[in-house]
Amino acid sequence: MAEALIRVEQLAKEYRMGSNVVPALQGVSLEIQAGEFVAVMGPSGSGKSTFMNLLGCLDHPSGGSYWLAGQEVSRLSGDELAQVRNSKLGFVFQHFNLLARTSALDNVGLPLLYSHMPLHERRLQAERRLRQVGLADRLDHHPAQLSGGQQQRVAIARALVNNPQLVLADEPTGALDSRTSVEIMALLLQLNREGITIVLVTHEHDVANFAGRIINFRDGRVIQDHANAAADAAAMLK
Amino acid sequence: MNFAATLRIALLALRVNKMRSALTMLGIIIGVAAVIVMIAVGGGAQARVEEQIRSLGSNIIMVLSGSMTSGGARGGIGSQPTIFEDDAYAIGREIEEIQAAAPTLRGNGQVVFGNSNWSTVFYGITPDYLDVREWAVVEGRGFEPAEMNGAGKVALIGQTVARNLFGDASPIDQVIRVRKVPLTIIGVLDRKGQSMTGQDQDDILLMPISTARKRVLGAAMAKSRSVSSIMVKVRQGQDMSMADQRMRELLRQRHRLQAGQDDDFFVRNLSEILQAQEASSKVMALLLAAVASVSLLVGGIGIMNIMLVSVTERTREIGLRMAVGARGRDILTQFLVEAVTLSLIGGAIGILLGVGGAMAVAELAGWRTELSAASIVLAAGFAGAVGVFFGYYPARKASRLLPIEALRYE
């Protein structure tokens, strides 16, 4: 069997609140294969966000191990994690997190700035990704000139620009109306069909229902992990 | 991350808050401009003192006729003729530290040419005088030995006298009368300007000492060998106080003064006074620059303040940049470059303003200012250093943010 894209073993995270130690994640073990579309669900405080932060190499685990594409990343330094995020991961956030007063093109090219790519090549790559998400005519628009759905498309293009092995989406439809949410999900599904592995966090069942696998968290543990017959977002738009 | 990209991000960030950037820069602008103007003013004062030293002639010691005590009453300087022409020659001959000693005989009177006249000071001199004062004849010629020895009826005049008697016409070979004695003008002296006491040094007429004694100053003087003063020039590199000491000893010996008896002459070491003045003007210049630097420092604190606000405001941006792969030092560089850009642009404007300000001070207040390239480089370097120094703390704070906390910041 091929090496899993993600393998975590007994992954744990504790937070210190004054003298109290709050366990946020208590020994999670699972694997995610390349090409999967996984939804992570759970109520607030269930540990799903902590799990996503660890998957996204944004935080250090307190215990356990995490292999990403065969590399153990749970022991890396801050700078090495930045390097991993830059080369292997893409992020989509609930509130888009685009730079204000910066064109869509430069927003999308931002990750490449930190991999030392020359300006003209950054713009070339960014333009290619903006075309892919259907915003070829909005290259020079600033975030304030775009609708919420368009802004999230720009953010998705940014997540793709460094050819990541994994895209992590944290409530990507949380700030969008239902019609736009379905459009964004259709885009993510299409990208998944093109071979990109996606892990998304949500608390909405409708959104999770587009995924091929759903993992439920509660009190820092996985309580349910099952395959799902994915709904077809493209069909819903018709 | 390359430098051009970093600079572009910095300029963009500064443009976003134009008003704030401008106000922050204002602190640096005022600081740099103040440093440049103050150094220029201080430098100008110093240059003035140095020029006075040069106009007097360097390494000058004056020997003045002293007081004589008669019946318990002590007279003032020059109350008695106690120094003589031969004292001057002896000083020049016997003291090796001394390059030249010029005896002078001073008088004043009305100088008449045609129907214009002018009151001025005249000196009877020997050829050593022009050498001691480092004074050149710019038009015509100096005195011939025959004129010196034979009480020739010739004179040299200063620029002020020339202007007042002759206007733009050439005074050479014109005959003027000084106390009714006709003298032919053979030359005009170079411009010296004001002395340190504010006297016009160009308001002067020179004649051979024998002419002054025998023809101009009258019968009482004609029989005497006394002089008003002796101007002594010490050789370059020789110790002034040593020359001073040996000269006193020689004069006491020549005047046959007993041990314990007061000197019957006064010695004034003028360049010492000027050097003290120069030192005080240097301290003054330093003080002005120090005060100006304080305002630059305050400007720097303004930069730190604004950069701290900026880091807080842009926490989410920092979190995002970190999430997509920026390392701590990329963020550090970004904010540092922003602070330095702010201070360098402020510095550049400050330099323009400072140069303009120094010129305005010279023009409006009539003070002499001396702009130096060194002060401009210093101010620019200082501005940059202020940016690095006060930008470092906020930049480090930004670079140490944790990505998840920065992303979650509201």
How far is the CA of A166 from the CAs of A89, A106, A163, B250, in angstroms?
5, 22, 9, 102
Question: How far is Cα A126 from Cα A96, in angstroms, rounded to an integer?
Answer: 17
By residue range, what is the domain housing residue A232?
6-99+164-236
Buried/exposed code over A169-201 (b: 16+ C-beta within 10 A; e: otherwise): bbbbbeebeeebbbbbbbbbbebbeeebbbbbb
Helices (H), B62-211: 85-94, 128-132, 145-149, 159-166, 209-211
Same domain, B144 and B223: yes
Is residue B72, in this structure, part of any structural domain at all? Answer: no
By residue range, what is the domain housing residue B285?
3-52+275-408
B305 pLDDT exceeds 60? yes
Is residue A222, in this structure, part of any structural domain at all? Answer: yes
The answer to whether A4 and A201 have CB atoms below 8 angstroms apart is no
Same domain, B279 and B404: yes
Same domain, B247 and B359: no
Chain A's closest residue to B404, CA to CA, is A58
Instruction: For residue A111, list chain B residues with Cβ-Cβ distance below 8 A.
Output: 324-325
Percentage of residues of chain B with pLDDT beyond 90:
26
pLDDT digits (tens, 9 = 90+) for A52-63: 999 999 999 999
Per-residue model confidence (pLDDT) at position A161: 94
Per-residue model confidence (pLDDT) at position B299: 87
Is residue A149, in this structure, part of any structural domain at all? Answer: no
Q: How many domains does chain B have?
A: 2
| A&B contacts, CB < 8 Å | 64
Same domain, B98 and B122: yes
Same domain, B239 and B293: no
Same domain, B27 and B126: no
Which of B306, B307, B296 shows the shortest CA–CA distance to B39?
B296
Is residue B78, in this structure, part of any structural domain at all? Answer: no
Question: How far is Cα B349 from Cα B356, in angstroms, rounded to an integer?
Answer: 11
Per-residue model confidence (pLDDT) at position B317: 92
Is residue A25, in this structure, part of any structural domain at all? Answer: yes
Q: Look at B323 and A86 and tell me if their CB atoms are within 8 Å.
A: no
Band (pLDDT 50/70/90 cuts) for residue B11 is confident
Please report, for the domain that includes residue A213, its CATH number: 3.40.50.300
Is residue B103, in this structure, part of any structural domain at all? Answer: yes
Band (pLDDT 50/70/90 cuts) for residue B79 is low
Is residue B70, in this structure, part of any structural domain at all? Answer: no
Which of A14, A15, A27 shows the shortest CA–CA distance to A66?
A27
pLDDT digits (tens, 9 = 90+) for B167-208: 888 889 999 998 888 999 999 999 888 776 778 889 999 999
Per-residue model confidence (pLDDT) at position A45: 85
Single residue among B263, B295, B313 that ends a domain in this structure: B263
Which of A216, A215, A212 shows the shortest CA–CA distance to A228?
A212
Q: How many domains does chain A have?
A: 1
SS3 helix, strand, coil % of chain B, rounded to 5?
Answer: 55, 20, 25
Which of A162, A179, A49, A168 shows the shortest CA–CA distance to A115?
A162
Same domain, B309 and B344: yes
Facing B5 at nearest CB: one of A93, A111, A113: A113
Whether the CB of B115 is below 8 Å from some CB of chain A: the reply is no
Band (pLDDT 50/70/90 cuts) for residue B43 is confident
Grouping H, G, I as helix, E, B as strand and the rest as coil, residue B35 is helix
Per-residue model confidence (pLDDT) at position A98: 92
Per-residue model confidence (pLDDT) at position A28: 92
Per-residue model confidence (pLDDT) at position A6: 92
Q: Look at A97 and B316 and tell me if their CB atoms are within 8 Å.
A: yes
Is residue A109, in this structure, part of any structural domain at all? Answer: no
pLDDT tens per residue across all 238 residues of chain A: 468 899 999 999 998 888 888 889 998 999 999 999 999 999 888 889 899 999 999 999 999 999 999 899 988 998 999 999 999 999 999 998 998 888 999 999 999 999 888 889 999 999 999 999 999 999 999 999 999 999 999 999 999 999 999 999 999 998 889 889 999 999 999 999 999 999 999 988 888 999 999 999 999 999 999 888 877 777 777 6
Same domain, B254 and B310: no
Same domain, B113 and B226: yes
Same domain, B323 and B283: yes
Q: Look at A114 and B321 and tell me if their CB atoms are within 8 Å.
A: yes
Which of B59, B167, B178 shows the shortest CA–CA distance to B110?
B178
Is residue A216, in this structure, part of any structural domain at all? Answer: yes
Average pLDDT along chain B:
86
Single residue among B263, B288, B321 that ends a domain in this structure: B263
**Which tokens go with A178?**
């239902």
Question: How far is Cα B124 from Cα B215, in angstroms, rounded to an integer?
Answer: 11
Q: Chain A: nearest CA to B28, how far in angstroms? A: 27
Instruction: For residue A175, list chain B residues with Cβ-Cβ distance below 8 A.
Output: none
ipTM: 0.92
Is residue A62, in this structure, part of any structural domain at all? Answer: yes
Is residue B126, in this structure, part of any structural domain at all? Answer: yes
Whether the CB of B404 is below 8 Å from some CB of chain A: the reply is yes
The answer to whether A186 and A193 have CB atoms below 8 angstroms apart is no
Facing A53 at nearest CB: one of B321, B324, B404: B404
Single residue among B242, B263, B284 that ends a domain in this structure: B263
Same domain, B198 and B338: no
Cβ-proximal residues to B310 (8 Å cutoff; 6+ apart), any chain: B13, B17, B335, B338, B394
Facing B404 at nearest CB: one of A59, A102, A162: A59
Angle between helices B373-399 and B328-364 (to 10 degrees): 150
Amino acid at A47: G
Q: Chain B: nearest CA to A93, how far in angstroms? A: 9
Whether the CB of B327 is below 8 Å from some CB of chain A: the reply is yes
Per-residue model confidence (pLDDT) at position A1: 47
Is residue A137, in this structure, part of any structural domain at all? Answer: no
Question: How far is Cα B319 from Cα B402, in angstroms, rounded to an integer?
Answer: 7
Buried/exposed code over B253-288 (b: 16+ C-beta within 10 A; e: otherwise): eebeeeeeeeebbbbebbbeebeebbeebeeebeeb
Name the burial class of residue B169, with classes exposed (0-12), middle (13-18) and buried (19+) by CB atoms within 10 angstroms of its CB. Answer: exposed
The answer to whether B400 and B315 have CB atoms below 8 angstroms apart is no
Amino acid at B47: A
Is residue B71, in this structure, part of any structural domain at all? Answer: no
Q: Look at B12 and A101 and tell me if their CB atoms are within 8 Å.
A: yes
Give me the mean pLDDT over the B358-370 stretch.
Answer: 87
Question: How far is Cα A181 from Cα B136, in angstroms, rounded to an integer?
Answer: 95
Is residue B269, in this structure, part of any structural domain at all? Answer: no
What sign results for the dihedral spanned by CA atoms B341, B342, B344, B348? positive
Same domain, B290 and B336: yes
**Which tokens go with A127?**
């333009």
Whether the CB of B16 is below 8 Å from some CB of chain A: the reply is yes
